[in-house]
Amino acid sequence: MLEAAGLTAVEETVYRLLVGTATASAHEIAHQTGLPHESVEFALTSLRGKQLASPTDHDPLHYAAVPPDVALLPRLQQRADAVDKARTAVTDLLDSYRSARRREDAGQLIEVITGSEALRQHLQQMQDNARHEMLWFCKAQYVAMPSGTNHAEYDALARGVRYRVLYERAFFDDEGAIDNVVEGVRAGENARSVPHLPLRLAVADRAIAICPLVPGGPQGAPSQPTAALVRGSSLLEALTSLFERYWETAVPLAVSTSGDVHGINDDTDGGLLSESDRRLLSLLVAGIADKAIASQTGMSRRTVQRRIHHMMTLAGAATRMQLAWQAARRGWL
C-alpha cells in the first residue's frame, strides 16, 4: 500500500512493525514477521537511508520508526508534485504531437459528425471534458438537444466551468426555452441575447469547437445535421473571434426573483429605465460630472453613481464610455 511513498513490500512490513512497537531488533522483527533475517537487515538499512527508521541511542541493534507524518507525508507530496509536473509535460508533448500531425494531416484538424445522436454525444463529451469555459451560439429550433436536456452544462457549472451563452431572439419562441434559460442563469450561466445568430456553435476551452457544415432541420426532419468538430487551427480562432464579436454587442439577460427574463429585446431593457434615469444618462453622455448631475437631478452623488452602475449592468458595459455607446445603439437617449 505504501509503494507510492517509495517502499517495497518487505520495507513496508518492517516499517509497520516498527510503528506498532517502541523498538525492535532485526532478530525480533524476523521472528515476528517470518521474514528471512538477511531480508530484514537489508530492509532496515534501506529504511535508515530513507530516513524512515533509525537505531536507538541506548542500543544500536534496536531500531525505532520515524513518525509517519514526518517520514511519509513529505515523500508523498514530493511524488505528487512530480506526477503533476510529469502530467503537464505529457500534455505539452501531446499538444506538440497533435500540432505536428495536423500540419501533415488535415483530418486531424476537422472531423465530420453526421446525425443528431452523434452530434449530441460529441456535445456532451466536449462539456464533460471542459475545464475552463464553454462558449455557445443558441439558435431557434433545436437540432440535437431540446431545451432543458443539456444536463452536462449543470455538471460543468458545478465544477467551476464558466458558460457564456448567446441566444437569438427567435430561440425564446421554442417551447420551454425561457424556463431553460432561467434555470441556466440561476445555475451560473452568463447569458446574452442578439437579434440573430449566423450559425450554431459550441467552443470548449478555446481548444475545440463544433459548428454545422450542412444545416440540418429540427429534430425529426428528413435531413440529418452534418457538423464539423474543429481542433486548434486558424479556423478555430476565427470561430472564437466571431463569438466574441457578437458577445460584445449583445444584451445581457437578467432573471428576476419571479422568474421573468429581462433583456430578450432591446426595448425591454429600455423599459427598465425610469425618466430620471434617462435624464441622468443624457447628462452623463453630455460629459457633466457626477457632482453637477446630482445637483441638477436633486439626487445625492452616491445615488447618481448607483444609478449609473445599474444602467451599466443592464447594458453589459464595463465603462461609462461603453454605457454611452450601448445607450445610443439601443435608443435609450
Give the 3-state secondary structure of residue 132: coil
The shares of helix, strand and coil residues in the chain, as percent rounded to the nearest 5, are 55, 15, 30
Residue 262, strand partner residues: 254
Residue 67 to residue 53: CA distance in whole angstroms: 9
Parallel, antiparallel, or unpaired: how do β-strands 62-65 and 53-55 relate? Answer: antiparallel
Instruction: List the grid coordinates of 329.
Output: 445603439
pLDDT tens for residues 253-312?
Answer: 877 777 666 665 544 455 567 788 888 888 888 888 898 888 888 889 999 999 898 888
109, pLDDT greater than 80: no
Site of grid cell 467552443:
203
Name, in order, each residue with C-beta under 8 angstroms of 14's C-beta and a sequence gap of 6 or more.
29, 33, 35, 40, 43, 44, 47, 53
Using alpha carbons, select from 145, 140, 141, 107 the residue that is nearest to residue 123.
145
How confident is the prediction for the chain on average, in pLDDT? 83
Residue 153 to residue 141: CA distance in whole angstroms: 19
Residue 279, strand partner residues: none
Instruction: List the grid coordinates of 186.
Output: 440561476
- Position 267 scores a pLDDT of 47
| Domains of the chain, earliest start first | 3-71 (1.10.10.10), 109-262 (3.30.870.10), 268-330 (1.10.10.10)
pLDDT (mean) for 49-78: 83
Using alpha carbons, select from 257, 74, 243, 93 the residue that is nearest to residue 182.
257
End-to-end CA distance of the chain: 71
Q: How confident is the model at residue 53 (pLDDT cuts 50, 70, 90)?
A: confident
